[in-house]
Amino acid sequence: MKRILETILVTFAGGVLFTLLHVPLSWMLGPLTAVLLWTSFTKRRLTWPAGMRNAGLALLGYGMGLSFTMESARQISSQLPSMLIATILTVAFSLGAAFLTARYTGVSMASSAIGSIPGGLSQMVVLSEEIEGAETAVVAFMQTIRLLTVIFAVPFLAVHGLAGGAVTAAAGVPPTGSSSTSTGLFSSLVDWGAVIAARPVFFGLIVVIVLASAWIAVRLRFPTPFFLGPILAAGIITVAGYEPPHLPPLFTLLAQWSLGIYMGLGIKLSSLSNWKKLLPYSIAGSIAVVAFSLGLSYLFSKVHPMSLLTAFLSTSPGGMTEMAVTASMVGADVSMVVAYQMFRILFILFIVPYMLRWGFRRFSGGASSRPSRG
């Protein structure tokens, strides 16, 4: 409990500081940064229950699933070819950046490739254990730098560049610096309670459905199941014509806070000894992929009925959760962003590993991959 209390105090300070500095996603990036700095300089170990992280993901997923409509479902189905094209081009560009990184840093091509592809950090680290010539420490370091670069650069560019600095009410949190911010947060909580009291049976049914959807997603081994299950459940309920209650802003803030803590605890900056040589290439490669996504999103916004902001967040090499949170904050089409991000993640998780194994076996003279550790 002492460690959890220390974690709360440290990350609360990070959230408040980033809010005062008007940093996008302040209650996710602030706690994340606070965890990294505190553990790096004090050498103290912070902790956060996985259940709190899962609850935060479920809340975020439910809130964002409410943005799904029948029209968004039709648009998503019509853009499946574009999702495939965007994913293939992003993976190909990432492999190009990986080739340059391997050539000028001396790390193996296998390590550089797996470290550069925009998949989940944990999934790519696990994959590195099954590919001959891949070093787990290198992959973990490169994926960490990619993750940090994207989750800081993309929201900042989306808010202060493409959105012109205007953050909509879709963020779920009143404007920073307003004297009525705290009052607005708690008054909305009271209003939400009144809505629930008016339809307690319907609300109870919604809770059961959301919890069941998360359980089913876990059983089916979905990526980020506690986020993806509730977002699909809420989307289906909304598309079916029902109007489930929206989350109060305070819940959204707490969910982002919990997610930021857990992400910070999962990042290990000391995973590689010769990090100074690899760091600039990892950052440059990550920025290049973000820039490539921006160019790709411009083309997509001209072909499809979607804004440049929505297209950028859809094609950015970030995590589905982080990009969806950013989309809700800047008023982009959350359902479209989630669809593109989910398609890319599933493609990378289920198709890319087989492509990499085949490619490395072919170009390494028939070397086989190491057996899986299960």
Print the SS3 string covering 305-356: CCCHHHHHHHHCCCCHHHHHHHHHHHCCCHHHHHHHHHHHHHHHHHCHHHHH
SS3 2: helix
Q: In a 10 Å sphere around its CB, with 0-12 CB exposed, 13-18 middle and 19+ buried, how is residue 8 labelled?
A: middle
DSSP characters for 255-293? Answer: HHHHHHHHHHHH--TTS-TTHHHHHHHHHHHHHHHHHHH
- Report pLDDT for 151: 80
Tokens in use for 187?
A: 């008054």
Cβ contacts of 348-355, under 8 Å, gap ≥ 24? 348/87, 348/91, 348/117, 348/118, 348/119, 348/123, 349/119, 349/120, 349/123, 349/223, 352/91, 352/117, 352/119, 353/127, 353/130
Cβ pair 328, 63 in contact under 8 A: yes
pLDDT tens string, the chain, 374 residues long: the values are: 888 999 999 999 999 998 898 877 788 888 988 998 898 888 888 898 888 888 888 888 888 788 777 777 777 788 889 999 999 999 999 999 999 999 988 888 988 998 899 876 666 766 777 777 788 778 878 887 888 888 888 888 888 777 665 444 334 344 333 344 555 556 666 666 676 777 777 788 888 998 999 999 889 877 678 888 888 888 888 888 888 888 887 888 888 898 888 878 876 666 555 667 888 998 999 999 999 999 999 999 998 888 999 999 999 987 777 788 888 878 888 888 888 887 887 788 778 877 887 887 776 654 444 444 43
- Report pLDDT for 168: 43
Q: What angle do CA 60, 332, 179 make, to 5 degrees?
A: 70
Q: How far is CA 134 from CA 95, 123, 138, 319, in A?
A: 14, 14, 8, 23
**Whole-prediction pTM:** 0.69
The label of the residue with tokens 């994959």 reads: 127
- Report pLDDT for 88: 94
Tokens in use for 158?
A: 């989306």
User: Distance between CA atoms of 101 and 94, rounded to whole angstroms?
Assistant: 10
User: Distance between CA atoms of 128 and 113, rounded to whole angstroms?
Assistant: 10
Cβ pair 107, 135 in contact under 8 A: yes
Amino acid at position 158, single letter = A
Cβ contacts of 189-198, under 8 Å, gap ≥ 24? 189/248, 189/250, 189/251, 191/248, 192/245, 192/246, 192/247, 192/248, 195/245, 196/245
Cβ pair 286, 150 in contact under 8 A: yes
DSSP characters for 88-153? Answer: HHHHHHHHHHHHHHHHHH---HHHHHHHHS-S-HHHHHHHHTTSTT--HHHHHHHHHHHHHHHHHH
Cβ pair 156, 149 in contact under 8 A: no
Residues 6+ away with beta carbon under 8 Å from 138: 107, 108, 111, 112, 115, 272, 278
CA dihedral angle for residue 124, residue 130, residue 132, residue 133, rounded to 10 degrees? 40
Interval 231-279: pLDDT, tens: 888 888 888 888 888 888 788 888 889 888 887 887 666 655 566 788 8
Q: Using only C-alpha atoms, what is the Rg of the chain? A: 21
Eight-class DSSP state of 247: P
- Report pLDDT for 96: 94
Q: What angle do CA 333, 328, 171 make, to 5 degrees?
A: 150
